[in-house]
């Protein structure tokens, strides 16, 4: 007890939490025992310490009894540490002179025997009393927030977040990997369950992005490096060459017309290869920016260097085409980042027994979106791959790459509804018999169940069962020339063979192939399936574990358009909270280096999960940035020379706590 | 450990499936692969043993594996799918389930045999694919195929539940190997659909119907012959074509080959050493394609 001088005056408060604690722990006995611990000046029990009168009790005692340390034995510090620190601060005492003891989650809720539970509470309180005596006054620090925001990904999520922020007057950088913004939504025909046209509601927002004075839009661009911390991120964006200068191109398309390829020859990515494009092309008519792009893989000038360059000729005095363009890097400073990088559709070739790639008339759901679209490769005519015949029967297989042990285990949430939508559209376009093969129909959304009922009335067939295979083997003449869907109909309990002309695979949603790479670049975490992980699934759904970085849309998990837009709005709001506050306060429970003992071995630098530690060349010592440090303690434990300490977890504090819990008297 | 592989023929490859043995040995010889027949081998333990007396089946199988361990612990190649499956299953179950391991160990001890730990059961298709490789087969193929297109048929036992011989669905390794040897194949949806199995001997009309389905679909796909990797599949598809012709007024007469026969031919083996003259159906085509001039009586 040599550390305890005459100045330490501790107040101990033991909470009943109604009967939550008092039902199992003899709180009066704990308070009595605590009164006898060294340094304790006041010891009380109270029904609800977190209530206003409970907090007032602490404030009054600090003033009247001249207390300078507070121990509250109640619930988890996750819930009320902030409450009691604030109360202590109100009495003009440093808030970090407070220590909580968790005698609810760690004690009364997990024990039954009152005597032993009370004894355990005594030990824990004794530990806290001894530790709190060693606490030092600490200060929170403030970090200013740069008001500019980076939005990564130009799908509907990124577009909505960017516009929300820009409309509130903030500077936004929108970075998109493709040549146009719009993402998956730009390729959809109608949206469920209202059947409004996707392009009609999306393209005005795309145009608004381009026209907005507060938005800097960079397409064909990728974030290559992220440095810094909340409020002060330094981001490098690699801009890939379009080989057409955006500021010079007028979008007149004369170069496309004049291209040496008279006919489109290359797979059109926007239509998933269902149509062809030239080496110079506009991704789709409403692309934003309205600037053509040259694919160097396809262009003769890049391949041989000997093209007549009729495109350059057609461009004339504008001189927009530039074959010499190369990658360049833009460096920007932003305070917050919103990741809206979206999803990739499941690759159906991973399930070979559904025949995608083997049988031409097996399609993906995305291909059908383009096929039923009036602006699509067939002008909205649903025809088979031969380009002429209309399917008279169509089978839609649900859950392809979803809810499947061998591929992806999660439900992709949107496939039931978009399959219903496609069933409706195919029927409308072709009057074909449409069969849906489903495991469960999931319609939990506004107007979704009503849409399902509508389809039942429209005469779409529903067969409950996971499809075994799609085959071209005809069992009898009626199946000749058809694709046969083999399925166990689990409602009528027999195996069926359904011959159809066209099979549609309802692809699931999965994380991008490079999601892990992106995760590392932004220093955030992923869930086991590879989607970016939110800080809390319910209460912090758009935050990440890295301050100042937020999530929107399908990069966090599969979701439909309404949910994506809602989440994008929420992410924008979270960014605005930081920007409008102007600064963030950071907790002082951070680690610090004892410079005279640090040997500069850099062990801690590689251990730190938050990239908070750097090596100062001039001093040959490690330095911890308190803004980035999350107080995890890894470096403290890892330092070979013991030269890193952490506020609130200093050796002395921990040893006193251990001595206290063991009732060890030196 | 000596090099090369041990070979477990099982009953079929010494009987109805002797063409499989002949062609396998020829092909391996041409690829410079050593193949030594396991000395004193016994019944693999397949057929009805497993459902009658599990322990006995495992012990029969384990004895072969134990002999392989004594014979230098080389990989044991079992070309017959039934042998392959039961040996592979024994290897798996003895490793996984202590109660089976104890029973097997006790029986082997009574026979003064060592535990068969470490012995690997392998199928020749997978050995050719993984250990030899498609590229080497391509470079060693010397003959140009003069026959028509074929479909590859894999059957059930070599493919599932162990996924080492090929993928569990839409297998391609036979096609890849034959493709490398310059022999054209056509794709086929029924690669693992039942050949009739032992039903041809028990509920005969069902068994025959099942192999008729395969033959008919192969022909519909434009194939003039089928390729198999299992003596039972080969026998079923080969033996009942006359009956099918009669019942269904069909003109069906399709040779059913082992993949080793085609590979051996491409590698330059004497056609007579491959046993192609032994099959029952499609003899005219087989003679023509393999240039086997003299008629030789069928084995069966």
CB contact under 8 A, B189 and A352: no
Over residues A480-484, the mean pLDDT reads 95
**Which pLDDT score, from 0 to 100, does residue A165 have?**
98
> In this structure, are residues A590 and A631 in contact, taking their beta carbons and an 8 Å threshold?
yes
CA distances from A380 to A266, A342, A367, A368, A372 (A): 21, 26, 12, 10, 4
Q: Using omega within 30 degrees of 0 as the cis cutoff, is the peptide bond preceding A655 cis?
A: no
CB contact under 8 A, B190 and A473: yes
CB contact under 8 A, B187 and A353: no
Tokens of A538: 């319910």
Task: Look at residues A430, A427, A441 and name the one whose alpha carbon lies nearest to residue A506.
Answer: A441
Within 8 A of A358 by CB-CB distance, chain B residues are 170, 187
Q: Cβ–Cβ contacts within 10 Å for residue B7, how many?
A: 24
Q: Are strands A10-15 and A40-46 parallel, antiparallel or unpaired?
A: parallel
Distance of CA A413 to the CA centre of its chain: 16
pLDDT tens track for B126-135: 999 999 999 9
**Which pLDDT score, from 0 to 100, does residue B295 have?**
45
Q: Which of A358, A359, A472 to mutate to test the interface with B (most CBs of B within 10 A)?
A: A472
A503 Cβ under 8 Å from any chain B Cβ: no
A423 pLDDT higher than 50? yes
B298 pLDDT higher than 60? no
Q: Are strands B121-122 and B76-77 parallel, antiparallel or unpaired?
A: parallel
Within 8 A of B213 by CB-CB distance, chain A residues are 475
Q: Cβ–Cβ contacts within 10 Å for residue A252, how many?
A: 15
pLDDT tens track for A399-420: 999 999 999 999 999 999 999 9
A480 pLDDT higher than 70? yes
Map tokens 């995305």 to a residue: A366
A358 Cβ under 8 Å from any chain B Cβ: yes
pLDDT tens track for B113-159: 999 988 999 999 999 999 999 999 999 999 999 899 999 999 999 99
pLDDT tens track for A544-569: 999 999 999 999 999 999 999 999 99
Over residues A627-643, the mean pLDDT reads 93
CB contact under 8 A, A358 and B170: yes
Within 8 A of A406 by CB-CB distance, chain B residues are none
Q: Using omega within 30 degrees of 0 as the cis cutoff, is the peptide bond preceding A193 cis?
A: yes
**Residue % of chain A over a pLDDT of 90:** 95
Burial class of A600 by CB neighbour count within 10 A (0 to 12, 13 to 18, 19+): middle
pLDDT tens track for A322-360: 999 999 999 999 999 999 999 999 999 999 999 999 999
Burial class of A81 by CB neighbour count within 10 A (0 to 12, 13 to 18, 19+): middle
Map tokens 């101990």 to a residue: A12
Across the A/B interface, how many CB contacts are shorter than 8 Å?
A: 18
In chain B, helix, strand, coil percent, each to 5?
50, 5, 40
Identify the structural domains of chain A with CATH numbers, from first to last: 10-138 (3.40.50), 254-318 (no CATH), 344-510 (3.50.50.60), 588-647 (3.30.70.20)
A353 Cβ under 8 Å from any chain B Cβ: yes
pLDDT tens track for B201-221: 999 999 999 999 999 999 999
Tokens of B8: 């477990």
| Residue-by-residue DSSP string for A419-488 | HHHHHHHHHHHH--EEEEEES-----STTHHHHHHHHHHHT-EEEES-EEEEE---SSGGGTTSEEEEEE
A360 Cβ under 8 Å from any chain B Cβ: no
Q: How far apart are CA A54 and CA A561, in angstroms?
A: 47
Nearest CB neighbour to A473, from listed B169, B170, B217: B217
Q: Which of B189, B193, B219, B222 to mutate to test the interface with A (most CBs of A within 10 A)?
A: B189
Q: How far apart are CA A222 and CA A640, in angstroms?
A: 39
Helix (H) / strand (E) element for A623: namely: strand A621-624
> In this structure, are residues A70 and A58 in contact, taking their beta carbons and an 8 Å threshold?
yes
Map tokens 């509250």 to a residue: A72
Identify the structural domains of chain B with CATH numbers, from first to last: 5-124 (1.20.1050.140), 142-290 (3.40.50.11810)
Task: Chain B: give the shortest CA distance to residue A348, in Å.
Answer: 14
**Which pLDDT score, from 0 to 100, does residue B292 have?**
64
Within 8 A of A354 by CB-CB distance, chain B residues are none
Over residues A226-236, the mean pLDDT reads 94
**Which pLDDT score, from 0 to 100, does residue B293 have?**
53
- Please give the residue of chain A at the shortest CA–CA distance from B171: A352
For helices B98-110 and B54-70, what crossing angle results, to 10°?
60
Task: Chain A: give the shortest CA distance to residue B279, in Å.
Answer: 27
A473 Cβ under 8 Å from any chain B Cβ: yes
Q: How far apart are CA A484 and CA A500, in angstroms?
A: 6
């Amino acid at each position: 007890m040599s550390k305890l001088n005459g100045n330490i005056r501790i107040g101990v408060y033991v909470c009943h939490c109604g009967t939550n604690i008092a039902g199992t722990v003899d709180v009066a006995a704990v308070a009595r025992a605590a009164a006898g611990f060294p340094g304790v000046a006041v010891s009380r029990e109270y029904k609800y310490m977190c209530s206003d009168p409970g907090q007032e009790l602490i404030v009054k005692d600090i003033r009247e009894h001249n207390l300078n340390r507070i121990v509250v034995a109640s619930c988890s510090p996750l819930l009320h540490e902030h409450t009691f620190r604030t109360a202590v601060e109100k009495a003009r005492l440093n808030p970090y002179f407070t220590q909580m003891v968790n005698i609810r989650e760690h004690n009364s809720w997990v024990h039954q025997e009152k005597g032993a539970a009370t004894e355990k509470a005594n030990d824990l309180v004794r530990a806290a009393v001894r530790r709190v005596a060693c606490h030092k006054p600490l200060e929170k620090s403030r970090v200013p927030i740069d008001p500019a925001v980076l939005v990564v990904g130009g799908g509907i999520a990124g577009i909505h977040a960017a516009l929300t922020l820009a409309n509130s007057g903030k500077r936004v950088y929108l970075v998109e990997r493709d040549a146009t913004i719009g993402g998956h939504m730009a390729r959809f025909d109608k949206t469920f369950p209202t059947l409004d046209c996707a392009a009609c509601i999306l393209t005005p927002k795309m145009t608004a992005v381009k026209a907005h004075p507060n938005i800097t839009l960079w397409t064909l661009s990728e974030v290559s490096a992220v440095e810094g911390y909340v409020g002060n991120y330094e981001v490098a964006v690699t801009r890939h060459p379009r080989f057409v200068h955006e500021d010079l191109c007028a979008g007149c398309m004369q170069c496309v017309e004049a291209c040496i390829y008279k006919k489109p020859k290359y797979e059109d990515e926007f239509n998933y290869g269902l149509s062809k494009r030239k080496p110079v092309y506009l991704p789709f008519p409403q692309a934003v920016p309205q600037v053509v792009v040259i694919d160097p893989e396809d262009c003769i000038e890049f391949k041989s260097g000997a093209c007549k360059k009729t495109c350059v000729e057609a461009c004339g005095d504008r001189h927009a085409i530039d074959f010499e363009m190369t990658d360049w890097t833009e460096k920007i400073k932003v305070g917050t980042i919103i990741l809206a990088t979206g999803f990739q559709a499941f690759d159906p070739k991973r399930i070979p027994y559904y025949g995608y790639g083997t049988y031409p008339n097996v399609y993906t759901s995305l291909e059908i979106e383009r096929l039923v679209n009036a602006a699509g490769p067939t002008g909205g005519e649903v025809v088979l791959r031969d380009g002429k015949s209309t399917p008279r029967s169509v089978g839609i297989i649900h859950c392809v790459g979803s809810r499947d042990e061998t591929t992806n285990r999660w439900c992709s949430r949107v496939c039931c509804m978009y399959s219903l939508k496609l069933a409706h559209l195919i029927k409308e376009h072709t009057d074909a018999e449409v069969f849906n093969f489903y495991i469960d129909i999931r319609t939990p959304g506004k107007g979704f169940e009503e849409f399902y009922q509508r389809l039942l009335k429209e005469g779409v067939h529903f067969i409950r069962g996971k499809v075994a295979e799609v085959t071209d083997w005809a069992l009898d003449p009626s199946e000749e020339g058809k694709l046969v869907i083999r399925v166990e109909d689990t409602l009528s309990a027999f195996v069926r063979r359904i011959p159809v002309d066209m099979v549609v695979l309802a692809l699931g949603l999965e994380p991008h192939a490079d999601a892990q790479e992106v995760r590392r670049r932004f220093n955030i975490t992923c869930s086991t399936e590879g989607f970016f992980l939110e800080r809390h699934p319910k209460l912090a759904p758009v935050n990440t574990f890295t301050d100042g970085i937020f999530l929107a849309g399908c990069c966090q998990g599969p979701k439909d358009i309404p949910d994506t837009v809602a989440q994008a709005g929420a992410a924008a709001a979270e960014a605005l909270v930081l920007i409008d506050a102007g600064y963030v306060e950071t907790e002082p429970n951070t680690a610090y280096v004892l410079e005279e003992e640090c040997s500069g071995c850099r062990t801690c630098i590689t251990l730190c999960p938050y990239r908070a530690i750097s090596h100062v060349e001039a001093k040959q010592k490690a330095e911890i940035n308190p803004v980035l440090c999350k107080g995890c303690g890894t470096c403290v434990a890892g330092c070979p020379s013991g030269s890193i300490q952490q506020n609130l977890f200093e050796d002395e504090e921990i040893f006193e706590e251990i001595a206290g819990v063991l009732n060890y008297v030196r | 450990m000596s090099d090369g592989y041990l070979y477990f023929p099982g009953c079929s490859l010494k009987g109805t499936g002797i063409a499989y043995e002949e062609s396998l040995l020829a092909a391996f010889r041409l690829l410079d692969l050593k193949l030594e027949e396991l000395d004193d081998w016994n019944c693999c333990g397949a057929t009805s043993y497993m459902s009658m007396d599990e322990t006995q089946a495992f012990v029969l199988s384990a004895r072969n594996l134990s002999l392989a361990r004594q014979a230098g612990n080389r990989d044991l190649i079992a070309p017959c799918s039934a042998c392959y499956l039961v040996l592979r299953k024994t290897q798996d179950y003895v490793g996984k389930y202590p109660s089976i391991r104890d029973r097997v160990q006790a029986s082997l001890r009574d026979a003064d045999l060592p535990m068969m730990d470490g012995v690997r059961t392998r199928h020749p298709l997978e050995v050719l694919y993984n250990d030899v490789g498609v590229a080497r087969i391509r470079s060693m193929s010397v003959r140009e195929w003069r026959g028509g297109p074929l479909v590859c048929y894999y059957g059930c036992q070599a493919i599932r539940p162990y996924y080492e011989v090929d993928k569990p669905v839409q297998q391609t390794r036979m096609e890849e190997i034959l493709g490398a040897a310059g022999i054209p194949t056509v794709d086929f949806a029924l690669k693992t659909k039942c050949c009739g199995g032992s039903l041809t001997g028990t509920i005969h009309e069902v068994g025959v119907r099942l192999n008729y389905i395969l033959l008919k679909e192969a022909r519909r796909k434009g194939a003039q012959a089928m390729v198999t990797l299992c003596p039972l599949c080969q026998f079923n598809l080969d033996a009942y074509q006359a009956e099918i012709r009669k019942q269904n007024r069909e003109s069906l007469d399709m040779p059913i080959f082992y993949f080793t026969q085609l590979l051996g031919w491409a590698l330059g083996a004497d056609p007579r050493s491959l046993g192609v003259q032994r099959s029952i159906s499609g003899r005219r085509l087989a003679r023509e394609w393999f240039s086997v001039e003299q008629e030789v009586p069928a084995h069966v």
